[in-house]
């Protein structure tokens, strides 16, 4: 892997469009937020105790609050992008820590705002919500007022904000040890060659037709985490205790309720997802058996779950080819959408393309209201990477359109909506590639890829959601989280989900220790609900007309101007019902049947 300073400019995201240099970032930081021992924002403090005096004062306070927040987000975006390019770079590590500290200070100094607003007499609150001068903030204020029973006194809100930096230690420590400190050694292939294991190459090797390599990399990779099981268990437990502390402090009866309530998501959405998937695990078991047959295996192991089932056929694309294919695939969303994506990928350098030494692993879409979208990739040329790029481009276009059509305070969409646009674009890519496929082998490959997408996003993430709920329930009931307890529970889940015909390799018991999303506070279930919504919406747009397309684009432009369930209804799907999840499972079942038929035809 190249060191960061040797990566070609065209392969880097254009962070310089935010700040031309670190020095420019530093000057902006210091000019906007000079070091002060006491209050950093005395202007904010000047509004305290006066929010109910008149509507104009409240509007000025809101404007000031959001202006500072916007500046901090811009500074934060630059620092975190630079940090992730090389997480060992001290200059950017310090910058990242400084802006995180500033954000915490702002949270502390403005922590009085919501309690004071909620303490106003009902007649004043009614006047605020009905005021034409505050119309642009009405839903923003309604969301604050809805949180009244879970908002504390000014003093206690300040204490909570002061605790946030300390409560980030578990997640930050996991990120540091996982992304920089772990050394996974090598894995031997069938020729006796030693191949180096990294996060990125693990994803590559586990798809290799060399079964000896797959087995060795699977075991060596997971055994690295196993050798640190006590440390990793304590870190995960620390994060769960953070969630439990915040839930109790804010008077929620569970961590799940605390995570879902702010976005007005009913608990039934989470529980019905788990129930629907568990009622249809036979569909997953049927696919696993088919995979076993197609690979010609006497026994199928977990390290056999990612290798392409067509030995004589695989698809790999250069990065430039992947970009062009993804841009073409979004044609059903109209020329404007397609042209914006073309410019972002081909001209404006939204993407940081390849792995380099000490670069953060994985992939994501980032950015802020005042920046272009940014996409982190570790592209290796396999088809999975092409779909990952399509996925992150979906996120980025969602952000682009939300920022363009909403004011700053509605510019960011909720996490519940995040995985809809991304998996929608993956489905469009699948449709294009299937329409172009020229032979049965290619169709088998692509259909299996789609099956794998749904398996990984609906079934696997729901399994993760079950595990996440279990560890939080355990903490709430004062059941200690020990390595043995976590491994046993995780092994039980894998056994149930994969079924009786799969060899559940013991190394999988430690997989919980390597999943960063378990630190994100009930994030993973939204992958499953997101793909369920996106598959329904993809069918609706592709099979519909201009109105269906505009409904979907209106959803992408909506930001957080309504609650997530309401925005999805605008797009054309109702997630308060079980129908979207059941339809996604039905589609999975139909794809498995189609794969069977194609296999028989080939024979």
User: Number of folded domains in the chain?
Assistant: 3
Residue pair 441/500 in contact by the 8 Å Cβ criterion? no
Q: How far apart are CA 195 and CA 220, in angstroms?
A: 11
Tell me, yes or no, whether 484 lies in a domain. yes
Tell me, yes or no, whether 384 lies in a domain. no
162 and 263 both lie in a single domain = no
Give the domain range for residue 249.
232-314+397-603
Q: What is the pLDDT of residue 383?
A: 87
28 and 103 both lie in a single domain = yes
Tell me, yes or no, whether 196 lies in a domain. yes
Block residue for tokens 């040329």: 381
10-residue averages of pLDDT along the chain (603 residues): 94 97 95 77 92 94 96 97 95 94 90 91 92 95 91 88 90 91 94 93 92 97 96 97 96 96 93 94 96 94 92 83 98 98 98 95 94 97 92 97 98 92 95 90 89 94 98 97 98 97 96 95 94 95 97 98 96 91 95 91 62
CATH number at residue 189: 1.10.287.830
43 and 154 both lie in a single domain = yes
392 is catalytic: yes
194 and 276 both lie in a single domain = no
Q: Is 376 helix (H, G, I), strand (E, B) or coil?
A: strand
Q: How far apart are CA 76 and CA 129, in angstroms?
A: 32
257 and 277 both lie in a single domain = yes
424 and 566 both lie in a single domain = yes
Q: What is the pLDDT of residue 602?
A: 63
Spell 96-108 as b/e; 16+ CB within 10 A means b: bebbbebbbbbbb
Tell me, yes or no, whether 323 lies in a domain. no
CATH number at residue 585: 1.10.1370.20
Read off the pLDDT of residues 493-541 as tens digits, 9 standing for 90 and up.
Answer: 999 999 999 999 999 999 999 999 999 999 999 999 999 999 999 999 9
Q: How far apart are CA 567 and CA 549, in angstroms?
A: 14
Q: What is the pLDDT of residue 179?
A: 84
291 and 245 both lie in a single domain = yes
Catalytic residue among 73, 392, 419, 507: 392
250 and 205 both lie in a single domain = no
Q: What is the pLDDT of residue 36?
A: 66
Q: What is the pLDDT of residue 449?
A: 87
534 and 475 both lie in a single domain = yes
55 and 188 both lie in a single domain = no
Q: How far apart are CA 138 and CA 510, in angstroms?
A: 47
Q: What is the pLDDT of residue 234?
A: 97
198 and 98 both lie in a single domain = no
- Tell me the two tokens of residue 186: 């090598």
Write phi, then psi, for 277 (nearest 5 degrees).
Answer: -65, -45
Tell me, yes or no, whether 330 lies in a domain. no
93 and 222 both lie in a single domain = no
Q: What is the pLDDT of residue 445?
A: 87
Write phi, then psi, for 259 (nearest 5 degrees).
Answer: -75, -35
Tell me, yes or no, whether 388 lies in a domain. no
Tell me, yes or no, whether 353 lies in a domain. no
Strands 300-301 and 502-503: parallel
Tell me, yes or no, whether 387 lies in a domain. no
């Amino acid at each position: 892997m190249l060191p960061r300073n040797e990566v070609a400019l065209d392969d880097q995201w254009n962070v310089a469009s935010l700040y031309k240099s670190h020095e420019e970032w530093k000057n902006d930081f210091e000019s906007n937020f000079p070091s002060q021992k006491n209050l950093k924002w005395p202007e904010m403090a000047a509004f305290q105790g006066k929010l109910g005096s008149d509507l104009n004062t409240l509007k000025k306070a809101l404007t000031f609050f959001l202006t500072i927040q916007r500046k901090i987000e811009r500074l934060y975006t630059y620092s975190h992008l630079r940090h992730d390019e090389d997480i060992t770079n001290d200059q950017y590590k310090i910058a990242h820590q400084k802006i995180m500290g500033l954000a915490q200070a702002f949270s502390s100094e403005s922590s009085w705002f919501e309690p004071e607003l909620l303490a106003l007499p009902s007649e004043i609150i009614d006047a605020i919500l009905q005021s034409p001068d505050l119309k642009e903030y009405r839903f923003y204020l309604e969301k604050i007022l809805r949180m009244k029973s879970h908002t504390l006194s000014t003093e206690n809100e300040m204490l909570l904000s002061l605790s946030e930096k300390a409560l980030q230690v578990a997640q930050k420590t996991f990120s540091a040890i996982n992304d920089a400190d772990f050394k996974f050694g090598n894995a031997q292939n069938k020729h006796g060659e030693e191949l180096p294991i990294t996060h990125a190459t693990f994803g590559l090797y586990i798809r290799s037709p060399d079964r000896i390599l797959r087995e060795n990399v699977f075991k060596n990779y997971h055994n690295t985490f196993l050798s640190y099981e006590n440390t990793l268990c304590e870190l995960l437990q620390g994060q769960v205790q953070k969630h439990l502390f915040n839930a109790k402090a804010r008077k929620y009866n569970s961590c799940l309720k605390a995570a879902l309530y702010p976005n007005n998501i009913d608990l039934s959405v989470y529980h019905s997802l788990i129930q629907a998937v568990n009622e249809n695990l036979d569909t997953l078991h049927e696919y696993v058996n088919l995979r076993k047959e197609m690979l010609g295996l006497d026994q199928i192991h977990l390290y056999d779950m990612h290798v392409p089932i067509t030995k004589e056929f695989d698809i790999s694309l250069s990065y430039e080819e992947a970009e062009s294919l993804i841009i073409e695939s979004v044609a059903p969303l109209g020329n404007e959408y397609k042209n914006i994506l073309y410019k972002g990928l081909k001209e404006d350098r939204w993407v940081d393309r390849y792995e380099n030494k000490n670069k953060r692993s994985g992939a994501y879409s980032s950015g802020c209201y005042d920046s272009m979208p940014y996409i982190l990739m570790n592209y290796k040329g396999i088809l999975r990477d092409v779909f990952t790029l399509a996925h992150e481009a979906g996120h980025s276009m969602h952000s682009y359109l939300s920022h363009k059509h909403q004011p700053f305070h509605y510019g960011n969409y909720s996490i519940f909506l995040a995985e809809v646009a991304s998996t929608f674009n993956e489905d469009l890519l699948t449709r294009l590639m299937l329409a172009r496929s020229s032979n049965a082998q290619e169709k088998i490959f692509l259909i299996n890829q789609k099956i794998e997408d749904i398996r990984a996003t609906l079934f696997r993430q729901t399994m993760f959601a079950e595990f996440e709920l279990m560890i939080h329930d355990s903490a709430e009931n004062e059941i200690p989280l020990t390595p043995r307890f976590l491994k046993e529970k995780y092994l039980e889940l894998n056994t149930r989900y994969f079924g009786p015909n799969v060899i559940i390799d013991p190394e999988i018991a430690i997989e919980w220790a390597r999943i960063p999303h378990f630190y994100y506070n009930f994030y993973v279930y939204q992958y499953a609900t997101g793909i369920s919504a996106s598959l329904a919406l993809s069918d609706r747009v592709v099979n519909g007309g201009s109105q269906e397309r505009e409904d979907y684009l209106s959803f992408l432009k909506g930001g957080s101007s309504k609650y997530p369930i309401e925005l999805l209804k605008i797009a054309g799907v109702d997630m308060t019902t079980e129908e979207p999840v059941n339809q996604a499972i039905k589609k999975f079942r139909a794809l498995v049947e189609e794969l069977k038929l194609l296999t028989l035809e080939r024979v």
